[in-house]
């Protein structure tokens, strides 16, 4: 989990997720992330990611990028806030996959390797 928190700190510090919150969620939920051969994340459930974003004190205004108003989400329980935001944002759609691909390129510059989205693993193996 420390490697995951380090990743989020680097993302925040470098600003690589600006405008790509949907991609960030897509990558953290559905893809394998490694750095220098070490696994940072194998993907996680929405609930686990909600806990991670809560602990990282991720900026609530990030949900505005996907057309959500943070004032319309559960205000007191940060874990429920992030879970609700993910449920409403369509993190499993084509737009999320595209944003995840953009974020993966940005993370590559920081030394991270992000795996392909679900369903494309087989296509990658054929190449």
Q: Is 31 in contact with 117 (CB distance < 8 Å)?
A: yes
Please tell me the distance from the alpha carbon of residue 54 to that of residue 77, in angstroms, as a whole number.
9
Per-residue pLDDT of 9-55, as tens digits, reads: 999 999 988 899 999 999 999 999 999 989 999 999 999 999 999 99
* Residue that is written with structure tokens 């790509």 in the block: 20
Q: The whole model's pTM is what?
A: 0.87
Question: What 3-state class would DSSP assign to 2?
Answer: helix
Enclosing domain of residue 64: 2-126
Of 5-9, 61-65, 122-126, the least confident: 122-126
Confidence of residue 105 (pLDDT cuts 50, 70, 90): very high
Please tell me the distance from the alpha carbon of residue 53 to that of residue 19, in angstroms, as a whole number.
16
Closest to 67 in 3D by CA, of 108, 100, 19:
19
If one counts the domains in the chain, the total is 1
Does residue 7 carry a pLDDT above 90?
yes
Strand partners, 35: 38, 112
pLDDT mean across residues, the chain: 89
Per-residue pLDDT of 75-91, as tens digits, reads: 888 899 999 999 999 88
Please tell me the distance from the alpha carbon of residue 92 to that of residue 4, in angstroms, as a whole number.
21
């Amino acid at each position: 989990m420390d490697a995951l928190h380090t990743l989020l700190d680097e993302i925040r510090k470098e600003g690589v997720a600006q405008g790509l919150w949907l991609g960030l969620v897509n990558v953290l939920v559905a893809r394998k992330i490694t750095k220098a051969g070490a696994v940072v994340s194998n993907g996680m459930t929405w609930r686990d990611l909600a806990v991670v974003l809560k602990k990282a004190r991720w900026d609530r205004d990030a949900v505005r990028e996907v057309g959500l108003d943070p004032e319309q989400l559960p205000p007191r329980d940060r874990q429920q806030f992030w879970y609700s935001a993910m449920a409403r944002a369509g993190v499993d759609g084509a737009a999320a996959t595209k944003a995840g691909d953009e974020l993966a390129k940005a993370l590559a510059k920081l030394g991270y390797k992000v795996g392909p989205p679900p369903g494309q693993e087989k296509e990658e193996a054929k190449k």
